[in-house]
Each structure stands twice: as structure tokens, then as C-alpha cells.
Amino acid sequence: MFEYVSIVGTVSTVIVLLMVSAMLYLVWIGFENDAHKPSPDDGDRPELDDGEESPEPQSELAEGNSV
């Protein structure tokens, strides 16, 4: 029975190392992807409004009411 312990331990260690290396590879690919990089062009973003100069009036909610 003890001769199988070293085989099972070796196989499980190899599998764990393969899984860790696969996860690190996926993280490395994720950093190379352009989806996570900030966009240098901010010309298409709308400007934030202060609220005082807003053309459409907003009604206030009474207490206890929610949207």
C-alpha cells in the first residue's frame, strides 16, 4: 500500500503544478489584452453636469417613496 502513496503524491504534485502554471498563463494573457488598458481617447465621453443648469426639471420624491 505504501508504494502507491509516492505515485499518487507525485502525480498529484505534477497536476497541481500544471494547474498553477495554466492559471499564471491565463493571467499573463489577460494583461496583454487591450480590454484592460485605459483608453487614451476621452473625446467621446459626455461632460458631467452640475445639475443646476439642467434643462429638464426633476421632481423630488416624497419620503418613503422610491423609484
Q: What is the residue type of 10?
A: T
Q: What is the pLDDT of residue 7?
A: 86
Q: What is the pLDDT of residue 43?
A: 64
Kindly state the cell numbers that stand for 64: 418613503
Classify each residue of 29-54 as buried b or exposed e, where b means 16 or more C-beta atoms within 10 Å of its C-beta: eeeeeeeeeeeeeeeeeeeeeeeeee
- DSSP code, position 28: H
Q: Compute the distance between CA of residue 65 and CA of residue 67 in angstroms, rounded to an integer.
A: 7
Sequential pLDDT tens for the chain (67 residues): 566 678 888 999 999 999 999 999 999 988 877 666 666 666 666 666 655 665 666 666 666 655 5
